[in-house]
């Protein structure tokens, strides 16, 4: 049986690729199971410093496999997308930075994958839509990562209307990090991966949490906790190595060779 998700490791970058172009990389039960397996591999792989999530074909992900979803409901089985929360969590809480390289268009559930990654880069030709309400359903599970990215007014606009919007608009409202010409896509993703690999692995994991958690802290408590964390990191083995490498004008031990 042909795999629907592939994995590759080169230069510290683990690339996880959705490969079901015949149904526009729809979120079928088998694709989700394989995606979970490949992401778990990347997270456990010592040689992986950065994860890139991408896909084959003209569409990154069209959302839930509606044909399979309908058959599952008629058969009294659990929804096909029941494992999506676990996958969103793997991406969101990954201690390793995750870059989403959108090869093209994304819809509905596919946008949950995009929003769960730390960075998202798409070609200007890509389009996006939260189509759930037009099917009489709601963007429920994906709202958890997506609403942490989108401007609130934009979220209301596109969640409620289901209107298609382009990549430039997606970047403007926070769904994407960058929207670039198609010929610049790979170079932009490679730039992110290269920059991320220069950071200390522990420092990157902790900084990911800072970005999510610090804005919700009361100002005084935030300063107190961050003062303690700053002292811990300067005294840490990784912090000491980074400072020594700076003064000795050499790459730190974790830097790609």
| Cα angle 131, 115, 220; round to 5 | 130
Question: Cα–Cα distance between 113 and 26 in angstroms, integer?
Answer: 12
Rounded to 5 degrees, φ, ψ at 98 are -120, 125
Q: Which residue has the tokens 């896909």?
A: 55
Catalytic: which of 132, 157, 237, 248? 132
Residues forming beta bridges with residue 99, ordered by sequence position? 52, 119
Structure tokens at 45: 């792989």
State whether residue 129 is helix, strand or coil. strand
Q: Is 132 marked active-site?
A: yes
249: left (phi over 0), alpha (psi -120 to 50) or beta: left
Active-site residue set: 132
């Amino acid at each position: 049986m042909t795999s629907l998700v592939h994995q590759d490791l080169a230069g510290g970058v683990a690339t996880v690729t959705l490969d079901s172009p015949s149904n526009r990389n729809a979120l079928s039960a088998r694709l989700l199971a394989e995606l979970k397996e490949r992401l778990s591999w990347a997270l456990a792989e010592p040689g992986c410093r950065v994860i890139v999530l991408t896909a084959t074909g003209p569409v990154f992900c069209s959302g839930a496999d509606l044909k399979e979803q309908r058959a599952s409901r008629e058969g009294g089985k659990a929804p096909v997308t029941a494992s999506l929360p676990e996958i969103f969590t793997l991406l969101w809480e990954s201690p390793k930075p995750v870059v989403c390289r959108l090869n093209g268009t994304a819809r509905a559930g596919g946008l949950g994958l995009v929003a769960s990654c730390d960075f998202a880069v798409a070609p200007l030709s890509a389009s996006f839509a939260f189509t759930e309400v037009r099917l009489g359903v709601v963007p429920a599970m994906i709202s958890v990562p997506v609403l942490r990215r989108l401007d609130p007014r934009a979220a209301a606009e596109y969640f409620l209307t289901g209107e298609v919007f382009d990549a430039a608009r997606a970047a403007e409202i926070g769904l994407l990090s960058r929207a670039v010409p198609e010929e610049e896509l790979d170079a932009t993703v490679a730039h992110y991966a290269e920059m991320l690999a220069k950071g200390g692995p522990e420092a990157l994991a902790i900084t990911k949490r800072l970005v999510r958690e610090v804005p919700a802290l009361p100002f005084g408590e935030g300063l107190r906790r961050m003062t303690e964390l700053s002292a811990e990191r300067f005294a840490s083995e990784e912090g000491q190595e980074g400072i020594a490498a700076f003064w000795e004008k050499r790459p730190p031990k974790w830097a790609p060779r």
